[in-house]
Amino acid sequence: MASRNRKQLQQQKRLGNQMSSRINLIFAVIVVLFIILLLRLAQMQLLDKTFYTEKLTATTSYTVKNSSPRGKIYDAQGTLLVDNDIKEVVSFTRSNFATAEEMKKTAWALSALVSYTETNVTTREKKDYYLADSANYQAVLDRLDKSKKFDKFGNRLAESDVYANAVEAVTDEQINFSDEELKVAYIFSQMNATPTFGTTSLKTVELTAEQIAIISANKDLPGISVRSDWERKNIAQSLSPIIGKVSSEKAGLPAEEVKEYLAKGYSLNDRVGTSYLEKAYEDTLKGTPKVRQITVDKKGTIVDDNETQSGSRGKNIKLTIDLKFQEGVEKIINQYFLAEKAEGNVELSEGAYAVALNPHTGAVLAMAGLSHDTETGEIVQNALGAMTLVFTPGSVIKGATIASGYENGIISGNQILYDQAIQFAGSSPIKSWFTLGSLPITATQALAYSSNTYMVQIAMKMMGQEYSPGMILSTSGLDSAMAKLRATYADFGLGVSTGLDVPGESTGYIPEKFDSAAILTESFGQFDNYTTMQLAQYVATVANGGNRIAPRLVQGFYDTDESGNLGNMIEEKGPNTLNTIKISTDELEIIQEGFYDVVNSSSGYATGKAIGEGAAVSISAKTGTAESYVTNKSGDSIYTTNMNVVAYAPSHNPKIAVAVVLPHETNFNSKASHLMTRDIINLYHNLYPMN
């Protein structure tokens, strides 16, 4: 018994010791934790005092930008072409306290004062508008599955995730709004997209003086005011396609170029040039935005509002085109095309195009075109077609073929070759329009008479082959010969970028695959295709002595005078010489002599005499035809020809170079393109005497 009691006492003692050890351990842990807490408090109050003080007094800064009007665009004579339409508009400035529900109420309240017009609202914008009502939002939340609001641990998801799930849960029936409510939703969507402290012009009908006064005096429309805003306004419709477009404030930056523009300091809703001149000269035309730096404290109270950059309008640009000459050129090509249409000669023609350049500076003097729908017969102006549409040039490019012969040592001087039928074994003969037998002609005569066979013999010699009747044309030297021809053509601007100072020009249609027959037709302009602008650069290069100069539409940059009109020149754009052709002055003069004889030779073979009849000045030119079959509405294959002309004047002191393209004529005796060319040069002479 005593032994059992002793064991119990020993066991109780062990348990007591264990309990005491545990209590001591717990007490030690508490002491350590308390010490750590004291040390942490000491660190926060002493070492990190500045950090936590800054946290308590932290502020948030907002950079706010307001756009300034773009620069204006004028023609060569200072006639205003593109202006900014300044008008008073309803604007909304979003405060840092604005809620979606408040903005929705404001949109409805404003609708009682002004008329809304737009109903173009996306599905997402409709849903945002619906959920802006707190009752609607709560009702949608109540219907959401628990997993759409909480994670697997029961914690509420981020509010942005919950809202996204709510948006997804809104049904089509709930956003089936009337047109009137869609108009309010459109205004709300503009407000909702406005960044904090940003200002947006709301799309309403034009304000009356009474509405301006009422809105300005109304204090119950938070963020709403009246301010001056601008919209781009094209005055001269003739040049509007070349000038291009500017994005709206809602569209803002083009999606494919957002990163590039943001890197330059643009805002997402900035209006920018999206095409042609407006896009090419964006950096010049854009205004400098007014920039404010707004700072708010943790409670959202504004503590600082500084203007860090005062806004200013963009620079103005003056074009090289005189609107009066441009409209005159359009009238000329319309007149002759309509006359041909009345005769039934252009049912299959895509239209007519003309470009006029200053051959020494590259200044575009006119760039005109009309597009003809061969299905409906509709005719519309299409100036852009002069740089975007390609056509088979025909014999107008024979000057470049002669130059390639010189450059590659194939011919020399005013060399004589025989115009004769080129007959290969098993194929139809290649002839010039005047080929009868075997006629010795010089290089100048080959141009004046437009000899196909002279050019074919140059191409064959480039291939390392001499012509003999009935021979089989080998593929030997084919690739090398084509490369040589195209290289020379490129030096004249054919088949390459002209360097035009607006985006979007075509570089032509230059097939990669070709056979031996292709190089022969290439030599007289019936294989590769070019734009009217390329043909104009080519003839300008002949006219100015061999310098290929980039065509340009802009003459210079200008400031604005005190009256808001064109001010002083800031910078003038000079000629940009891209390359010089690789032949001697004497060789180029032979080509120029050939161009002169096209119009002025007494020979009955000269192809361009109609150009000189009634001309006010001496004209040099090269005519061209390019034959092809075109299918008409009835499915018949009709034989047609492109009637093209390149020219410059005056012949011995050129001031203007012109290219005219009239595709798919069915009257092979038509002189319409010749007369267009003459009249364009005469018009220029009347406006700017060239003697």
As a dihedral over the C-alpha atoms of residue 295, residue 299, residue 301, residue 303, rounded to 10 degrees, the angle is -40
φ, ψ of residue 548 to 5 degrees: the values are: -85, 110
- H helix intervals, 84-122: 100-111
For residue 687 the two structure tokens come to: 């406006």
Question: What is the b/e burial string over 411-441, where b = at least 16 CB atoms within 10 angstroms of the residue's CB?
Answer: beebbebebbebbbeeeeebbbeebeeebeb
Q: Assess contact for 200 and 193: CB atoms under 8 A.
A: yes
- Give one DSSP letter per residue of 327-354, joined into a string: HHHHHHHHHHHHHHHHTT--TT--EEEE
Q: What is residue 26's predicted lDDT score, i.e. its pLDDT? A: 75
Q: What is residue 442's predicted lDDT score, i.e. its pLDDT? A: 98
Per the model's pLDDT, the better-predicted residue between 474 and 31 turns out to be 474
Q: What is residue 691's predicted lDDT score, i.e. its pLDDT? A: 73
Mean pLDDT of the chain: 90
User: Residue 660 — pLDDT band, cuts 50, 70, 90?
Assistant: very high
The Cα–Cα gap between 626 and 640 comes to 8
Per the model's pLDDT, the better-predicted residue between 74 and 635 turns out to be 74
Q: How confident is the model over 118-146, as pLDDT tens digits?
A: 889 999 999 999 999 999 999 999 999 98
The Cα–Cα gap between 55 and 44 comes to 12
Q: How far is CA 314 from its chain centroid?
A: 19
φ, ψ of residue 363 to 5 degrees: the values are: -60, 130
* Residue position matching structure tokens 């098993």: 426
Q: Looking at the domain that runs over 323-352+362-546+581-687, which CATH code has it been given?
A: 3.40.710.10
Q: How confident is the model over 15-41, as pLDDT tens digits?
A: 666 667 677 777 777 777 777 777 666
Per-residue pLDDT at 56 exceeds 50: no
Kindly state the greatest CA–CA separation across the chain: 155
φ, ψ of residue 351 to 5 degrees: the values are: 140, -155
Positive or negative: CA dihedral 512, 513, 516, 522 = negative
Q: Assess contact for 646 and 396: CB atoms under 8 A.
A: yes
Q: How confident is the model over 235-260, as pLDDT tens digits?
A: 888 899 999 999 988 788 898 998 99
Q: What is residue 343's predicted lDDT score, i.e. its pLDDT? A: 95
Q: What is residue 288's predicted lDDT score, i.e. its pLDDT? A: 80
Active site residue ranges: 395
| Percent with pLDDT over 70 in the chain | 90
The Cα–Cα gap between 243 and 72 comes to 11
The whole-number average pLDDT for the span 429-448 is 95
Per the model's pLDDT, the better-predicted residue between 169 and 28 turns out to be 169
Domains of the chain by residue range: 1-39, 95-193, 323-352+362-546+581-687
The Cα–Cα gap between 661 and 101 comes to 62
Beta strands per DSSP E along 505-655? 547-549, 554-560, 566-572, 577-580, 620-631, 637-649
Q: How are the residues of the chain apportioned to helix, strand and coil, as percentages rounded to the nearest 5?
A: 40, 20, 40
Classified by CATH at the fold level, domain 95-193 comes out as Arc Repressor Mutant, subunit A (1.10.10)
